[in-house]
Structures are given as structure tokens and as C-alpha cells.
Amino acid sequence: MDCSTAKSKLFPYVDGELTPELRDQLEAHLARCGTCRRLVDLEVAFRETYVDRLRPDPAPEPVREQVVTLLRELGQGRRASRRQRQLKRLVVCVGAAFLVAVGLSAGIALQSYVGTRTTLAELAIAAVEQHQKLVRDLLPPDIKNVSPKVAEEWFKKRLAFNVSLPDLRTERLHFLGGRISHLREVEVAALEYQVDGNNVSLFIIPEDAYRQLRLKDKPRFKVVSHRGYDVVIWRSQGAGYTLVSEIGDRACLMCHAPEEKLEPLPRPSAHL
Amino acid sequence: MDSGTEFQDAVYKYLNPLYNYALVLARQDAEDLLQESIARAWEAFHRFDRSQSFKPWIFTIMRNVQIDRLRRRRLQPSEEPLGYQKEAEPVVSLENPLCSIPLAPEDILLRRETVEQVREAIRHLPPLLREIVELRDIEGLSYREIATIVSRPVGTVMSRLYRGRNLLRTYLVEPRERPGEKEIGVRNDGL
């Protein structure tokens, strides 16, 4: 090995990244070349003086607190999901026993019912988790300070399904912004609104994902209650919609003018 | 220990490196990137191979999250979360060596720079070179781990590391060569 080659391998040598064969060749060269050996010594001294003492920038205390909060929320979400899975297993076991008792056709119907409820529940839990993160600014908007129409165009260029944002039919409703997010690993449009000063999140999901919920057509609006939030799920214009709020029927202002007479939302089909 | 506790312990252990890497990838948006990356890693943790190291695994996720964020904002698919303009990079491998090292660290040692001055000089490196120098010299990751994180061959990592370290030494010997904050500010990290 000549000096030029030896110098070119100095960094990987000091980094401990040379193969044993190359390392042996280099060390054989260093044993007989004082100039290269001095370069290695200087490089090692440079590492010991500076590089080994470099540390990553510490996370400031507010960032640490945010992470603690996030991890706690993520943990709660997983525990809730685990409880759901345990509940699902229990219900499926009961259903299986029922299958034996009343026959195959009744069993199939029950399994379908159980499966639908569980999937709907998982969507509702995920939507509430996302809503909380949006409200707490843990998930920043991709687009804000624009009209719903501008935001709609923005999403249509980025998502491969029909994203149709409701018009603002009352001054009590304000569009805050939106982002592309994920609900149960499905890419969705996540929209933030305020109704009478209350935060409301609207998630628009692909129709395929909505179909996989296997929901019945009626009632049109499915309502689930989770951790004090009302989650309303429906289908419209080739997409699924999931609305999360704490204001009950007032959230209907998202799509309807105040003067419209509407039937009250159905009572929650599940409290999770 | 359940997986939730295991994940939390790992995040707390590596919180400073995670925050630091978020600063490298998205200086003005580091806190959001950190949060989103932790959330994404949490979702994927059941697929984490326990025989591998946690730090490069979650660094890879963070880099991918940043790529996704830039892709959403720009509508321009990019594999470089730092928005660095692609340029011809020398092909380097252990068998195809670079030219000799131009700057011996002797002058720097004689100047008795402080560790913080070296740290500050690293912050002024061009984004892609800084990323590799940080991952190697501050985070202590191997060439192969870095190559996995940045989705580039080991030779590219060696090339960037070589150029980054030499530029760093230029900055330390000749601080006037260092670009100012304003110039760094236009690094176009997409935010």
C-alpha cells in the first residue's frame, strides 16, 4: 500500500470501518511510514479532543413534556384498542357458541354484526385520537388560512378519491385548516373547524375504506360515543365522512344552515 | 416488559438524538417532525426487529416522515428531505479510494478550538453533508446504518462524510469560509 492509498483510508480506519484485510494492509504500511502514522495520530487526537465530546442538542423541556404527553396518549389509545380486541374475542366466542346452538345461518348473521360493530369502533377510536392531536397542535395543518374551496382543490391534487368540503353556511362555522393524515393506516383528509368556538374535526375517507366498514344503509348517520366525543359516520358523494365533536347535534352546522330543520341524530349505537 | 413500555423507554433514551436529528431535517419544524415520527414509529413498532438497533430504525422513520411531509407540500416526489440539489458525487468505496486528505487536524488542534465551536461549525455545513457528519460523529452510527437511513450506498455515505469532515476543518481553520446564518436559512428544507 502506498501513502496516497493509506491516506484515503484514514477516515474509515479511525472509524473502525475497514475490513480486517484492508486494516492489516494499512497497519503494515503505518508500521514503516512515519508520515502516515503521524496523520493517524493527529486524527485520533482530533477525535479525542473534539469529536468524542460532541453531544446531540438536548431536547428543551417543553419538547420533553410534549413527548411525555404524546406517549401517554398513544399508550391510552393502544390500551383502548386492546380492550376492544379483548371484547371482540369475547363476543366472537359467544357468537361461536351461539352458532352451534342455533345453526349456521344465524351464526353467519351474528358474525357479520359483530365484525361491523368492531370495525366501526376502531374507526371511531382512531378518529377521536386524531381529533385530540389536531386540537392540541400535535399534528400541524398542511394548509390553513384558506377557503374550503381552495383547500378542496389542494386535497384533490393529492388524494386519489373525491374530497368534497362542505360550504360554510353560517358565520358560526369557521374552517381552520387541514392536513393529509391516516386513520387506521388509510390516507384521509383531516379537516379542522370551529363551531361556536368549539373544535370539530371532519375526516374524509376513501369510499373503498368506508365500504370495508360493512355498514348498513340505515340509519344514514351512525353515531358512536367515545371518551366524551360524538363520532358521526356517513357516506356522501363517493366518500366516507367521520365527524368528531363534543357538541352533539350542533355539529350538523358543518353541512347545514341553522334555519334548516333536521331530524336529530340517532342515539349512539355504542359507547366505547 | 410489554411493548408499550419498551417503546416508551426507547424513546426517552434516545430523545436527545431524535430531537437533534429532527433539527437537522427540519430546523423550523423540528418539534412537529419529532411528534409525527414518534406517532408513526408507535404504529410500526410491532414490526420492529428486536435484533436490530432502535436508533437507526426510528431515524429511518423520521427521515421518511419528513420526505412524506415535503411530498405533500410540494407535489414533487423527492428522496432528499433536505431539499439539497443533486450534484455529481464521486463514487467512493474502500477499493476506490478518494484522494488524500487535504487538511490535517494539526492546525485545528493548535488553535485550541472549543468543542462548542466545533459543534457550531458542524451546524454550518451544507445540509446533506451535515446530516452524514451528525449521524456519524455525534450519533455514532456505522456507515451501513447511515446508508440504510439515507437510502444511499455506503460509498455515497463515505463520500459525503469525507467532504463534510474536510469542509468542517476548512471552517475551523478559516472561519470566514463559513456561510452565514442567512445562507443556511435558504437551504430550502421545504418549510
Extents of the domains making up chain B = 3-74, 106-185
- Choose the closest CB to B16 out of A5, A58, A71: A58
Q: Which residues of B touch A144 (CB under 8 A)?
A: none
pLDDT for B98 equals 46
Q: Does B42 touch chain A (CB under 8 A)?
A: yes
Residue B2 — pLDDT band, cuts 50, 70, 90? Answer: confident
Maximum alpha-carbon separation in chain B: 53
User: CATH for B106-185?
Assistant: 1.10.10.10
pLDDT above 60: residue B103? no
Residues A238 and A201 in one domain: yes
Same domain for A126 and A216?
A: yes
**How close does chain A come to B97, measured CA to CA in Å?**
5
In the numeric block, which cell numbers belong to residue A152?
378542496
Average pLDDT, chain A: 81
- Quick one: A188 and A133 in the same domain? yes
Position with higher pLDDT, A42 vs A137: A42
User: Is the Cβ–Cβ distance between B175 and B103 less than 8 Å?
Assistant: no
What integer pLDDT is reported at residue B89 of this predicted model?
52
Helix (H, G, I), strand (E, B) or coil at A109: helix
Residue A94 or residue B149, greater confidence: B149
Q: Do B8 and A71 touch (CB under 8 A)?
A: yes
State which residue of chain B sits closest to A63, comparing Cα positions: B31
How high is the pLDDT of residue B63?
93
Does the CB of B106 have a partner CB in chain A at under 8 Å? yes
pLDDT per position as a tens digit, A54-69: 888 788 888 898 899 8
Clarify whether residues A151 and A240 are in a common domain: yes
- Domain identity same for A9 and A91: no
Q: Tell me the fold of B3-74.
A: Rna Polymerase Sigma Factor; Chain: A (1.10.1740)
| A38 closest CA partner among A81, A86, A3, A85 | A3
Specify whether A40 is located in the same domain as A133: no
Same domain, A16 and A115: no
Q: Which residues of A touch B113 (CB under 8 A)?
A: 50
How close is the nearest chain A Cα to the Cα of B86, in Å?
24
**Cβ separation of B4 and A78 shorter than 8 Å?**
yes
pLDDT over 70, % of chain B: 69
Quote the pLDDT of residue A114: 44
Q: Indicate whether A156 and A23 sit together in one domain.
A: no
Element (DSSP H or E) covering residue A7: helix A3-8
Q: Is A160 in CB contact (< 8 Å) with chain B?
A: no
The confidence score (pLDDT) of residue A95 equals 66
CB contact under 8 A, A185 and B43: yes
Greater confidence (A84 vs B181) lies with A84
Mean pLDDT confidence for B135-148 = 93
Please tell me the predicted confidence (pLDDT) of residue A96.
Answer: 64
pLDDT at B108: 62
8 Å CB contact of A54 and B104: no
- Residues A164, A149: Cα–Cα separation, whole Å: 9
Interface A-B, measured as beta-carbon pairs within 8 A, has a size of 123
Structural domain of A125: 61-271
Q: How many domains does chain A have?
A: 2
- The alpha-carbon gap from A196 to the nearest alpha carbon of chain B, in Å, equals 28
β-pair type (A198-206, A143-144): unpaired
- For B4-14, what is the mean pLDDT? 90
Does A158 contact chain B (CB < 8 Å)?
yes
Between chains, do A142 and B105 touch, taking CB under 8 Å as contact?
no
pLDDT at B77 over 70: no
DSSP-assigned letter for residue B14: T
- Contact A66/B108, CB-based, under 8 Å? no
Confidence band (pLDDT; 50, 70, 90) for B148? very high
**A107-111, B1-5, B157-161, B186-190: the lowest-pLDDT one:** B186-190
pLDDT of B44 above 70: yes
- In chain A, residues with a C-beta closer than 8 Å to the C-beta of B36 are 139
pLDDT, position B104? 56
Nearest CA in chain A to B160: A11
| A14 has pLDDT over 60 | yes
For residues B15-44, give the mean pLDDT.
90
Q: Which residues of A touch B161 (CB under 8 A)?
A: 11
pLDDT band at B128 (very low <50, low <70, confident <90, very high): confident
Query: Do A227 and A252 fall into the same domain?
Result: yes
For cell 381552495, name the residue. Answer: A150
Q: In the predicted model, what is the mean pLDDT of residues B122-132?
A: 90
Query: Is B3-74's fold the same as B106-185's?
Result: no
Alpha-carbon torsion (B144, B149, B155, B161), positive or negative: negative
% of residues, chain B, pLDDT over 90: 34
d(CA A251, CA A243): 8
Mean pLDDT for chain B? Answer: 77
At A101 the pLDDT is 66
Condensed to tens digits (0 to 9), the pLDDT of residues A95-148 reads 666 666 665 555 444 444 444 444 788 888 889 988 988 887 777 788 888 899
Check residues B72 and B26 and name the one with the higher pLDDT: B26
Burial grade of A157 (CB within 10 A; 0-12, 13-18, 19 or more): exposed
Whether residue A193 sits in one domain with residue A110: yes
Q: Is pLDDT larger for residue A91 or for residue B100?
A: A91
Restricting to A residues 86-125, those with a Cβ less than 8 Å away from any Cβ of B are: none
pTM score: 0.55
pLDDT of residue B1: 64
Distance CA A204, CA A195 (A): 18
pLDDT of A268 strictly over 80: no
Per-residue buried b or exposed e for B34-66, using 16+ beta carbons within 10 Å of the residue's own CB? bbbbbbbbbeebeebeeeeebbbbbbbbbbbbb
Flag the least confident range among A22-26, A123-127, A254-258.
A254-258
Closest CA to A141 of A159, A127, A155: A155
- Note whether A17 contacts B: Cβ–Cβ < 8 A: yes
pLDDT tens per residue across span A135-167: 877 777 888 888 999 999 888 888 888 888 988
> Chain A residues with CB inside 8 Å of B122's CB?
54
Asked if residue B129 has pLDDT above 50, the reply is yes
Regarding whether A78 and A182 lie in a shared domain, the answer is yes
**Residue A7 reports pLDDT greater than 50:** yes
Q: Hey, what's the cell of A256? A: 347545514
Which cell numbers in the block locate residue B113?
478550538
A249 in the same domain as A167: yes
B88 or A47: which leads in pLDDT: A47
